[in-house]
Every structure is written in structure tokens, then in C-alpha cells.
Structure 1
Amino acid sequence: MAQRHEGRHRQPGRHRAPQTSRRHRLAAATVRRPVLTTAAAVALLGASAAGYAKAGEATGTLTSSGVPSAAVDQTMSEIGSAQRQDDAEHRQSTAAAALKAQADRDAAAKAKAAAAAAAAQQLAAQRQAEAQRAAREAQRQQVLAAAQDDPRSVARMMLADYGWSDGQFSCLNSLWTKESGWQYTATNAGSGAYGIPQSLPASKMGTVASDYRTNPVTQITWGLQYIKASYGTPCSAWAHSQATNWY
């Protein structure tokens, strides 16, 4: 007779509780884990690095220094990005510096050209003024050379040397026409006054030059000096002569 089969069922109440996955256990542990301090975090990172190193030996995902290859790739990517940004900024800075240098050169060249043009213009004006002065002096010498023939022109030309306008010449002409008729050898038989301005005595004109008896220019120079010192202007001297019959 066959033996009675006895089942191998577990006793009542002895059934195994459902297994919890490792991920769920880690999550639960994380929830219950207190917040790490900075020092503890540093220590944990050190321990993790060591753990990574051990794990990497089996998986081949670490570098020779024990750093995860993904982290190395990320770091290298960041370094490359920073380097590219630095290069771009350097290129921009270099381009800006080059533009500024070119602008400075252009400004310097423009200023130099303007200075050269101004200098050339000033030189041209100076040469023109010198030419005009030379022409006036040549004319003056011609007039002086002809002074004996035309003393009036000499006297008229010399008015400006004493600060008088050409309008004073009519008074001077009237005065010396009355005194000597513009004759450089005119002599007053009664007083001894001599020359165009009728200097008394004649030797007073020697303060200008020793040729006062033959040079109308010397006589006119002394006469104008005398009028300037005594009356201020030829018209004042002429007014005095008209009132007193002498000056």
C-alpha cells in the first residue's frame, strides 16, 4: 500500500514577506539619512572616489587616476568651451586694438598733413609780405633818390612814420609852401633860417645827418620831428602859422 504523501507546504504564518528591491532600500535609507555637514561630505566624496576606483577596475569606466571617465569628459568639454571663449575674446581684443591703432595712425597722418598745409600757407604769406615790403622799400629808395626834384613825394611818404594819415599832407604842403616853396636851398636873408622846413639855425638839422644842406630827406626828417614834438600834427602847426605867421 502506497505511503501517504505529505505535502511540503510551509507551516501557517511562515510565508516569506515580499522582497524589497535594493533601489527602494537605498531610497528609503536616503530619506532617513540626516543632512551631511561639509566635513562629512568631503569625507564621503573621498570614500566614494575610492569606491569608484575599486568598481572601475571591474567595469573599466574609470581613468588611470581613479576619476570616472564621464566626469573627465565633462571637465574637458568645459575646458574646451572656456578656451574657445578666451580665444574669441582675444581675437576681438586684438581686432579692436588693431582698429584703434589704425585710427590713431590715420589721425596722426591727417594732423601731420594739416600742419604741413598750414606751414606752407604761412610760409607763402610770409614770402608775399616780404616781397611787398621789398617792393615798398625799392619804391622808397627811388623816391629818396629823386628827393631833390620832388621833395613833396618824400614828405608825403614819410607821414605814416609819425602816425599821421594822408589827410595831414594838405596842411603840411600849405605850411612848407609858405615857408620855403619846398626848396631845399631856401635861405631867409633876415633870420638865417634854412631849407624846406626853415630850420633856425640851419645847424639844428645836423642832429639828423651832416648832409642837411644838400639832402632834402634830412631836412624833411628834421622838420617832421619838430612838428611832432611842438604841435603834434601838421594841421596844428599850420593853424598856428596862420594865426601868428610863424611856427
Structure 2
Amino acid sequence: MSRISVRGFAVASATAVTAVGSVVGVASGSTAQSNDAEATAYETTTLLADIPAGQQAQVQTASLTQQADAQAIAADATAKKAAEEAARKAAAETAIKKKEAAEQAAKAAKERAEAKKAASRDAARSVTDFPVQTSYTVAQIQAMAQQMVPAGQFQCFSNIVDHESSWNYQAVNASSGAYGLFQALPGSKMATAGADWRTNPATQIKWGLNYMNSRYGSPCEAWSFWQANHWY
């Protein structure tokens, strides 16, 4: 190889590398280097023409390898950026869902607490509003319950009484001894609502409402449990 051809090979190699750098710069978003890249690529082609075929292959291989490496690096960076963006988006969506769930749970808990408080207040006030009688009809007992149980909870309350005693405040289970509208077992536990629990439906209604609120949160939640288990 002559001195001229050796110099040509070195210059061509360096120029090829420079051309790759220029192309990579353009790929990464630098438009200012496009003209330089084209000029350098032209110069590389011209110089390669003066180099023997075997040496041209070496120069071209080096150039293509560097170009492929640069493209791989750019692709990895793009993939990494996309993955990070997807992770941020997923985290934001998860945070929003958790916040909404917490807000709904807090709202439901507040509604249960308010319903329980209102029911207890109404029951405590209403028991003494009904004159004591020696006996009561189903219609009279239901009218008492409608005045003591919150309107939105009455149907659920009524469903439970229908299944437990058919609104018979003196109903007794022959097997277990459960007593009253709600088939309390033992019946004497209703004494917490009043000493006249055996004979006064209003006292039993007060006890039953307080029981449903304290154990399940409301008559409707107690009814949901009853439907699933056939007891409450």
C-alpha cells in the first residue's frame, strides 16, 4: 500500500465516523447538522472510491456498526422514556381510584351514622307517644313502627318483622322460646328498651330498631344479611 493510499484509508475512516456522528445528531433532533451530514457522506463516498475494495469493506463495516449502535441507543432511550411515562400515568390513575374509594367509604359511613342517630332519637321520643293498651292489632303496630322507623328504612324493617313474627308482638317460638316481633332470644333482652317488653309493641319496636342499627348499621343492612342467611 502506498503512502497516498494509506493516508486515504485513514482519512476515509475518520470521515466515515464523522458521517455517522452527523447522522446520529440529526436523528436525535438536531436539524442544523443535516447539511454537514450530507457533505460528509459525499466526501466519504469520494474517498472510498480511491481505496482498494478490501479496505473499503472495512471502512464501510465500521461505519455501519457505529450507525447501528447509535440507532440502538436511541431506541433504548425512547423505550425507557415511554415506560417511565406509562408508569407515571398508572400511578396517577391508581391514586385517583383510591381517593374516590376512600371518599365513597367515608360518605357511606357518615350516612350510616346519621341514620343510626336519627333512628335512635326517633325511637326514644316516640315510645311514650303511644297510649298503653291491653291488646294491639297488626295495623296499630305497623302504624307505631312507621312513626318510629325512618321512612327510608321502614320497608326493610317491615320485611324482617314479616318473616320473624308476622307482626305478632306476643309470638313465641315453641322450640327456642324466642319472643315478640323480632323473636328475641331470650325475650328478656328487650328489657333494655323497657320493662313492659312483653306487652308493649312500641317497646319491642324500639329494641328491634336499636338492635338493627347497632349490629348492622341500619334496618336495610340487617335485611340484606337476613336475605343471605335467613336470620339476623
Give the TM-score, by structure 1 length.
Answer: 0.39
Question: Quick one: higher RCO (CA 8 Å, sep 6+), 1 or 2?
Answer: 2
Relative to its length, the structure with more helix (as a share) is 2
Q: Which structure has the bigger radius of gyration? A: 1
